[in-house]
Each structure stands twice: as C-alpha cells, then as structure tokens.
Amino acid sequence: MVAESSKWKATHWLILSYLTLLSYWKEKKIRFKPDIQESQIGESSIDLRLGNIASKLIENPGVTVRPAVTIPKDLFKDTKIKDGLTIGPKELILAFTMEEGTLPADLCAEVQGRSSLARYGLATHITSPHIHPLFTGRVALELYNHSAIKLQFYPGDLICQLIFSQVTEPLPLDWKQKGRYKGQKTPQPQKL
C-alpha cells in the first residue's frame, strides 16, 4: 500500500505518448547527440540505434567474481563494431546506443527491447532498465542471445526503445548525480 503524501497521491504512472514526445524533442527538453529522426518516435517510445562500441565477456572457466564488491578489469574486452556485431547463442555482450541522450529534471526513462528482435531471442537489458532524471550519456545495453542461432547487428540498427515517464517532482538542476555510469566511455562495469 502506498502512503499518501500531502504533496501528491500515487494514482497512476504517466507514460509520455507520441505528441508529448514529439513536443519535448522539438523543444529540446529531450536531447540526443547525434540527433534522432522524427521516424524514431513511436506511439509511446523513442527507438535508439546501436552504437559502435561493445564489450565482450571473456570466458574464464573456474573464475568466481563478487561483482557487488569488486570488478576485475580483465573480464571484458572492448571492441569497435565495424563489420557487424555477432552475438552467439547464450552470449552476453555489453554495448552502447549510438545516441547520447539528455533527460530533463522532470522525466525518467526505461530502456526496453524491441519486440521484433525479441522474437529472435535478443534481450536488450537484463535487469537494469531505469534511467534517472538529468542523466546524460549513451545508454548501456546488456545484449543477451537466448536463441540457438547467431544474431548479427550493425551500428545504426534500431536496437532498443526508451519509454519516458514523469517523476512526481523535478530534481533540482544542481542535483549531483549519484550514479557511477554518467558519461561513461565504455559499457564495461565500473568500480563500486
């Protein structure tokens, strides 16, 4: 049960739809670099493209990692995606979107997969879809192939979608981001 507040009452979750997304984008309240095309704005989401940086998890049989405590640097290998990104069956690859997004103080977003790719077994994120207000950066994707076939993608392919919702109160513009992934240069895990 949600406790009532004197300032607001949790009655619904407001997801932005096409006309609002289009307006926020045109007014530069939601910004992308490189910019998106209007065709990337859907009924209630914005599609993003695969970038050209990926990190592959290196097989290390017998290695045990405590990721809540420490992140060994030699478990992932960064690679530039030039001739396509092939994801083998049961393989995990971290990647970035092509677009670097900037959210305003009154919006958060969720990164989700695209159903057309999920039907071939692609999971776009594992358990970390949430993007906080005032975030600036490329979206890190946890690409996992659940199928028995190889999947191939190229930079610029539509790979995921962002679903935007309003927060109950905007963050102060001088808010200090607590997340360690803002402005990251590689999709590899960051030190705690």
Active-site residue numbers? 142
The span from the CA of 170 to the CA of 145, in Å, is 37
> CA 37, 38, 44: angle at the middle one, nearest 5?
120
Long-range contact pairs involving 7-16 (C-beta distance under 8 Å, separation at least 24): 7/168, 7/169, 8/168, 8/169, 10/168, 13/165, 14/165, 14/166, 15/44, 15/163, 15/164, 15/165, 16/44, 16/107, 16/164, 16/165, 16/166
Place of tokens 């507040």: 5
Instruction: Pull the structure tokens for residue 191.
Output: 């030190």
What residue type is assigned to position 137 of the chain? Answer: G
104 C-beta neighbours (distance < 10 Å), count: 20
Q: Which residues pair with 102 in a beta bridge?
A: 31, 136
CB of 112 within 8 A of CB of 124? yes
